[in-house]
Amino acid sequence: MASSADLTPGNPESGSSLDPARRGRVRLRRAAVMAVPAVGALAGLAILTAQGALGVSFSISGMPFTVTAKSLDGTGFEQFGALDSMIDNSPNAGDTGGQVLVVTSAIKNATLDSLCQSVDLGGTNLLIKAGSGSSKVQATNLTTDSTQLTGDASFNNIEIGNDASTLTKAGVKGPEGVFSQQADTVHIDNLRQTNYATTAGVFKLPGLKLSFSDSGC
């Protein structure tokens, strides 16, 4: 059996018994085989994204931020556990290994009254407020990855204990074998979240105000 060195294209003795046309076909087959894992990974990522299986498809900064609202009303609600990842050697990794265990909440259509979002930048807070007037914040295909969520909640037609890969209410599917729940509608008063990531298909922020503040939300 030939060694790996014997199959190296740069070895002057490799393939000495092959004619130039056959050597070209061997190189082409080898290149195609090497490309398969990369193509497969990209195709798999595209399929997962299309199916909504990825709540967050980016590397998180590792800096938590606070989100509050007087109330949230949503249709198509799902919730399941997940892992968010930081970039390699992130300065915010600490002793987490660069991963944060989160609860992903997905809402097909959401309305938020008096949204406030703040992130501590070390001595000052970046503050974002919106939707405190007659027009409220509107979001579609909203997902939040949280380590803490509090409020007074009510649900319609809730299902608890689903496999996260079988969820249907918000169009997002979680990992196989993971505990989850879903409901037709959700209402939360006095919402407060500690989040590591938020995504939305559409995010409308009437009365948007961005500022720096000594205090957060």
What percentage of residues in the chain have a pLDDT greater than 90? 72
φ, ψ (nearest 5 deg) of residue 104: -90, 125
DSSP tally for the chain: helices H, then strands E: 1, 9
Q: What's the pLDDT tens digit per position in 126-172? A: 999 999 999 999 999 999 999 999 999 999 999 999 999 999 999 99
Mean of the per-residue pLDDT values of the chain: 82
**Nearest C-alpha neighbor of 15 from the set 125, 5, 115:** 5
Indicate the range of 47-61, 71-85, 101-115 predicted with least confidence. Answer: 47-61
Higher pLDDT, 22 or 93: 93
Distance between CA atoms of residues 184 and 186, nearest Å: 7
Is 52 a residue whose pLDDT tops 90?
Answer: no
Q: What is the pLDDT of residue 24?
A: 45
Q: What is the pLDDT of residue 98?
A: 95
What percentage of residues in the chain have a pLDDT greater than 70? 74
Q: What is the pLDDT of residue 131?
A: 97
Confidence of residue 29 (pLDDT cuts 50, 70, 90): very low
Q: What is the pLDDT of residue 27?
A: 42
**Nearest C-alpha neighbor of 128 from the set 213, 214, 211:** 211
